[in-house]
Chain A
Amino acid sequence: MSALYPEIISMELSNWPIITINDREVYRHRVGPLTIFMKRLLNEIWVASTRDESIRGTPSELPEKPEWVRMSLPGDFEKYRLQPVMPDMPVIIDTEHAYRFVSKTSTRVYSRIPVWVRIAPESREDLVIADIPTVILSETWFGTFTDGEPSYALSSTARRILTEDLLEPHLVVCPLEIRNNSDDELKFEKVCLRVERLSIYARENALWSDETVINYQGMDSSTDTEMKGVRPRESGDAKLVSKPRSPVRKSIGQKTFRLLKDFHIPGF
């Protein structure tokens, strides 16, 4: 396990700092559209959040009636770590336009997924105080009417080229290699990305996830999804900042594509 997951590097990134909260002081921090408010009262930590239209700049003001969530901790912690983590359910990436792959071709695309902010005492990272999404994604269903799994929906252009201006502090770039190993043509418009099995790497406030390789074997065979467990080559010397929520490294044969042939028929 340790060979697969190197130790998380404790590094100071301006968007993901280790913060010191003084007693009764309200601390504010912005990550993309999300502003987090934290307050410490003896061994209690109070957390509230708000979102606005802007994704940069100073944190928002504390709302008039903030919805505080109080948590009593087993000690009096002063320092807290803000850490980017992946969403808690798979993300269905809608590619906007249907994608067609002829037999034996492959491509590499990039999708950007909004991260969640995890708050934990610096000395007790197992003590998760809150996981707050930077962007509230709509839910969707991946499967049939009788069986399937809940997921988040995300519309993406599935970019072939990633430029610097697309790197946002609250968006993790997921490189996705899709290979059509079958003799059939692969047509899809939705991909199910099992983000809970991906790590996050950071470099200069840009976030990257593990490489995911999807091997399509044909309609009759299951699709292999392989999480490489290594930082993508584009990320340079990015450091691991977050381990997967559900660490599964081996290749998984699960439903990954929403094929056009299998397109939804309303249940009426």
Chain B
Amino acid sequence: MDFLSSLFGDQLTEERLFLLLRVLIILVVGLPLLFILRRVLNRHITRHYSQHYGMLAGKLVFYLGMTILLITLLHEFGFSLTPLLGAAGILGIAIGFASQTTVSNVISGFFLVAEKSFVVGDVISVSGNVGVVYSIDTLSVKIRMFDNRFLRVPNETMIKSEYINITRFPIRRVDCHVSVAYKEDLSRVSEVLFDVAAKLPYSLQEPPPLLIFDKFGSSSIDLLFVAWARKENFLKLRNGLNMGIKERFDKEGIEIPFPHVSVYAGSATKPLPLDLISRDGTVLSTGAQSGIGTGNPGSETD
């Protein structure tokens, strides 16, 4: 006490020392308690309900606790709250005008949470960026993209833009675009496709797979084959179906055609001349001599 008195002189009265002690106790006890409470609540609610509610409850308790702590400290320092609140009102308007974007983000955040179009842990696609919702904060939505980049989207932008919640519903559809040659028997193709899906245990039997005739393509008949999987098996089914179809088509001799392209140089009526060259570099024949590539326009060389 004597040491402190010598250090601070008349400034340090007994009353002020007790005030300092009280403030220290409030801070030393209050702050860690608040952090612990937030963590415990977050963990408990996440375990029993969902990660989203855990995060919300944690934040709510933390901000409420911080406000109470601040009010208590102000009270300890002898500030009266009534004029403070009045001043806060006037100040609030001024700050509101000055920080419209921030306020807009805060309000948008409330709407995002209330609307529940997505929750923490959902996979969403925003402007072509796909990732897992990491947190919904006061100002922004944080997304962990699949290549482990971090995406921050302001709440206001989220409210204004379209986004897709990929994991909202429990089952998802896998679309397989399949092309077969014109010569193929479509009923046989259909049989093979349904059999491939049936052999994959994670391809749901209900809703059943579906084959849709898409169009007569330039080089192929284009089909759309769709099957359903639980959302957690989506990638497994997509890989399984595409690989299974390729394997079975090869086995059954069903041709998957590829586009045939003719390349012309210069005039559209004159095909690209080709020279035949042996392995040792000897020119066997030129395009003009052999007639290679000098066919009528429309005849294709591939």
Contacts and interface: CB of A to CB of B under 8 A. Distances in A.
A, B in one complex: yes
A190 B170 CA distance: 21
Given A92-B205, A264-B208, A268-B210, 5 more contacts: A138-B198, A139-B204, A139-B229, A141-B204, A141-B207
Given A138-B203, A139-B201, A141-B228, A147 B208 contact: no
Nearest to B168: A146
A140 B201 CA distance: 9
Contacts of B204: 138-141
B206 to A, nearest CB: 5
B208 to A, nearest CB: 7
Interface residues of B, number: 21
Given A141-B228, A148-B170, A266 B202 contact: no
B96 to A, nearest CB: 40
Given A147-B170, A148-B170, A141 B206 contact: yes
Contacts of B198: 138
A11 interface: no
A148 B171 CA distance: 9
A258 to B, nearest CB: 8
Interface string A114-140: 000000000000000000000011111
Contacts of B208: 264, 266
A268 B207 CA distance: 11
Nearest to A266: B210
A145 B207 contact: yes
Interface residues of A, number: 21
A267 interface: yes
Given A92-B206, A153-B206, A268-B210, A138 B201 contact: yes
A190 B205 CA distance: 12
A80 interface: no
B201 A267 contact: no
Nearest to B212: A268
B59 interface: no
Contacts of A153: 205-206
Interface in A233-268: 258, 264, 266-268
A142 interface: yes
A44 to B, nearest CB: 29
Interface in B155-170: 169-170
A139 B170 contact: no
A150 interface: yes
Nearest to A143: B170
B39 interface: no
